[in-house]
Amino acid sequence: MSKSGISNPRTPYLLLLPGIAFLFTFFIWPIANLAQTSTQTPIAGGDTGEYEQTLRWANYLDAFLENKEQFGRSFLYAAIATVAALAIAYPLAYAIAFKAGKYKNVLLVLVVAPFFTSFLLRTIAWKQILGEQGVVVPFLRDLHIIAPSTTLTSSAFAVVAGMTYNFLPFMTLPLYASIDRIDPRTLEASGDLYANGITTFRKVTLPLSMPGVVAGTLLTFIPAAGDYVNAAILGSPQTKMIGNVIESRFFKIVDYPTAAALSFTLMAAILVLVSVYIRKAGTEELV
């Protein structure tokens, strides 16, 4: 080893090797595999699940046209859940950052506490919460907000509510990190310079927390758009999302090419939406 401490110039690459090997084995290779599958067609006279490579790009168009309703639904539900999570998480993160005092850490632990229980169990619990025996439905019926015959389970509402709940910590934590970094004196300075509470929020707090808003919405929207657990447990056939279609194509119908084509289309769509969003939010340097 040399005296300067910078030894072999190849050391950094050697250190990268395990990571690269991991990524290659578990990400790049499967993706390439998936890409290859997406243009296959069934072997004539073969068994179910036997496909051969015919480079049939029309698989993509067929898959999309057949499922465009589910695509639309996925992005709509994900968007609503993201907005709802933002509306809930922003005041929460703000309160934890600025008002919680010594309870800051306790509250942060509570935000991530749901992760100690399985995602599936928590989603199934929502079935109970929104069910006939839960507190929500009778309460809303008593207040005549919903008709006596209306149920909440197996509905779009339940799916979006479940997604909002499940992805809330992913929204809250980046928001908190970003709001917590705001110097409270800049807020005082804003008040000192003739801005009332609302103007201070619009002109100082919100712009300074934009990195958190962007990170939080991406961390919520991306997994929500591809989610299938919430729709499977809390939804009905009418609320199927694209994740559910991919899941059933892969595991039930063993239609691998369609499932692969759908996966790629979903990835591309999310990528496009996210790029547009980041460009619009004007925070390229933050992501």
Partner 1 sequence: MSGISSARGDLRIDHVSKSYGDFTAVNDLSLTIPEGSFFALLGPSGCGKTTTLRMVAGLEEPTKGTISLGNTDITFTKPYQRPINTVFQNYALFPHLTIFENIAFGLRRRGIKDVKEQVEKALDLVELSHLSSRKPTQLSGGQQQRIALARAIVNRPALLLLDEPLGALDLKLRRQMQIELKWIQKEVGLTFVHVTHDQEEAMTMADTIAVMNEGEIEQLGSPADLYDNPKTAFVANFLGQSNLIKGTITGNDGDNHVVELFGQKISLAKNRSHAVDNSILAGIRPEKFRISRLATPTSGNILSGGKIEDVSYIGVSTQYQVLMPWGQELMVFEQNDDGVAPFNVGEDVNISWEAGFTFALRGDEDAEAGTEVNPEEIIEDDE
Contacts of 32 (CB under 8 A, 6+ apart): none
In one-letter notation, the amino acid at residue 236 is S
Q: Minimum CB separation from partner 1 for residue 185, in Å?
A: 4
Residue choice 11, 150, 186, 236 for contact with partner 1 (CB under 8 A):
186
Q: Minimum CB separation from partner 1 for residue 116, in Å?
A: 37
Q: How many CB atoms within 10 Å of residue 62?
A: 14
Tell whether residue 286 is a contact of partner 1 (CB under 8 A): no
Residue of 218, 221, 210, 202 whose CA lies nearest to 177: 210
Q: Write the CA distances from 139 to 124, 147, 217, 285, integer angstroms.
A: 20, 11, 31, 47
Q: Write the CA distances from 187 to 16, 105, 193, integer angstroms.
A: 43, 23, 10
Candidates 84-92, 113-121, 197-205, 251-259; binding stretch for partner 1 (CB under 8 A): 197-205
Sign for the CA dihedral angle at 157, 158, 162, 163 comes to negative
Residue choice 34, 92, 140, 195 for contact with partner 1 (CB under 8 A):
195
Tell whether residue 285 is a contact of partner 1 (CB under 8 A): no
Tell whether residue 185 is a contact of partner 1 (CB under 8 A): yes
Q: Which CB atom, from 182 or from 232, has the smaller least distance to partner 1?
A: 182
Residue of 212, 206, 174, 213 whose CA lies nearest to 187: 206
Q: x-or-dash pattern for partner 1, window 247-276, by CB under 8 A?
A: ------------------------------
Strands 40-42 and 51-53, sheet pairing:
antiparallel
Write out the two tokens for 18. 């395990």
Bridge partners (DSSP) listed for residue 42: 51
Contacts of 7 (CB under 8 A, 6+ apart): 1
Tell whether residue 194 is a contact of partner 1 (CB under 8 A): yes
Backbone φ, ψ for residue 174 (5° rounding): -65, -35
Residue choice 199, 236, 238, 275 for contact with partner 1 (CB under 8 A):
199
Residue choice 55, 109, 193, 272 for contact with partner 1 (CB under 8 A):
193
Q: How many Å apart are CA 214 and CA 86, to the nearest integer?
A: 10
Residue choice 207, 254, 276, 279 for contact with partner 1 (CB under 8 A):
207
Candidates 44-52, 118-126, 170-178, 191-199; binding stretch for partner 1 (CB under 8 A): 191-199
Q: x-or-dash pattern for partner 1, window 89-128, by CB under 8 A?
A: ----------------------------------------
Tell whether residue 202 is a contact of partner 1 (CB under 8 A): no
Write out the two tokens for 77. 């539900």
H or E stretch including 121?
Answer: helix 119-130
Q: x-or-dash pattern for partner 1, window 208-237, by CB under 8 A?
A: x-----------------------------
Residue choice 192, 237, 251, 285 for contact with partner 1 (CB under 8 A):
192
Residue choice 22, 188, 275, 276 for contact with partner 1 (CB under 8 A):
188
Provide the binding-site residues for partner 1, judged by CB under 8 A: 183, 185-186, 188-196, 199, 203-204, 207-208
